[in-house]
Structure 1
Amino acid sequence: MSTSAPVPRAPLSAVGDEITISPSALRSLGGELQRFMLEYRFAMQEIETKLAILREEFVHMHEYNPIEHVSSRVKSADSLLSKVERRGVTPEISEIRREIQDIAGVRVTCAFIRDVYRLFGLLTQQDDITVLEVEDYIEHPKDNGYKSLHAILSVPVYLSSGRVDVPVEVQFRTIAMDFWASLEHKIYYKYQRQVPEEMMAELKQAADSAAELDTRMQSLHVQMHGEPPPTSPINLQEIREVRERIRRV
């Protein structure tokens, strides 16, 4: 696998035990950073294309399309550099790639929970996709009720200089989960993450209601269309082993 050439280190300064990086120094990465960001945009587009192909196949060849909506984004350079500074990551391209996994993101919204796992399986069984990490917040919701299936997937991007394997964060969730998460994000933004306890309790109740709705709607769907094909369970131990091997390269 070819990698981007290392860039000069930006000046570091110590404040107590914390290392800080001058934003102006980080921006001096210039053209190398632009190329780096393009790699993530291309990787995001690769994932989008794979999903578009699956969606098109379901539309034309099957009676049911599990993909309701797909959205995507790449962090802006300013947002990325701010995160590099906050986390004290060494300002080298190889280190940023290793330590920050959510530079490119794709969100897949499905109608039903089973669709989430089915699409995860269909996408990750493709030969050029490597699963680096999975966080199953559907099976194990966050304390506030948040549910979603998060995966870091490595996808090859072929440039004029050769192949680069680039991580993309892909989130799979149902319509109900997406609606709840959108509302929760707005509330957290309004209160600058200091949400009153009573409102947090209401959010948790709303999450429970959304989960109940997901279960009931899926039950109705099964009554109409029958049981979907079985999906393989997510092997988290195998994913961790793959990730560790990649980190040692």
Structure 2
Amino acid sequence: MTTLTACGGGTERGGGADVGKGAPTRPAATRDPTRIPGVGDRWQRRIPADSRQVVAVYGDGRDSAKSTVVLYAKQGAAWDRVRGWPAHNGKKGWTTDHREGDNRSPVGVFTLSDAGGVLKNPGAKLPYTRSAAFAAPRWWAKSYWHDFDYVIAIDYNRVKGTPPNDPTRPEGEGKGGGIWLHMDHGSGTSACVSLSESAMEYLLRTLDPDRHPVVVMGDRADLKRSR
């Protein structure tokens, strides 16, 4: 049986309403449509030139477990906001030097290559692995049992092209791993980003490997950094 991520914490699963205020905005006359809103040069330039889909995770604060996820799609040279959702991240917030067990989500830009979960494929465009091995341990609180019904692997310290629960960590165990987008239980995780079931289904059906999707994630202050 493959190793699961240890994301957990909280008492209930979250809602799935689209949110209009999730992305930092400026007046239409001043916003540069060729850039992801709220993302400074440091991270903006790490978005691959061929990427046409960006999942932006805007953390409320460095030590906050609350965040907002916004999906952007590139049309020509412009990034258009598609949809947004409330979300959670690591219990203790964010870090630019993630370590195993620190309960913080890693800040950065990461590709999204593989998906899977306990439930059958809902129509994912990314390669999808269905397996009971994704199931959360039953010694976890019952509110966590559905966390991994749907997951999308964040390509942090993992081998692309393998199921999300492949335990291989190329940079070593100390750098952590098993960091996913997965279903929400109502509060912070160990390092993952969690969303409602409807949000996960939408992302699974929308993220397209031919559009080279990436996630840009971090607390709002760090995301805005120019260096």
Instruction: State TM-score, norm by structure 2.
Output: 0.25
> By percentage of residues, which structure has more helix?
1
> By percentage of residues, which structure has more strand?
2
Structure with bigger RCO (C-alpha 8 Å, 6+ apart):
2
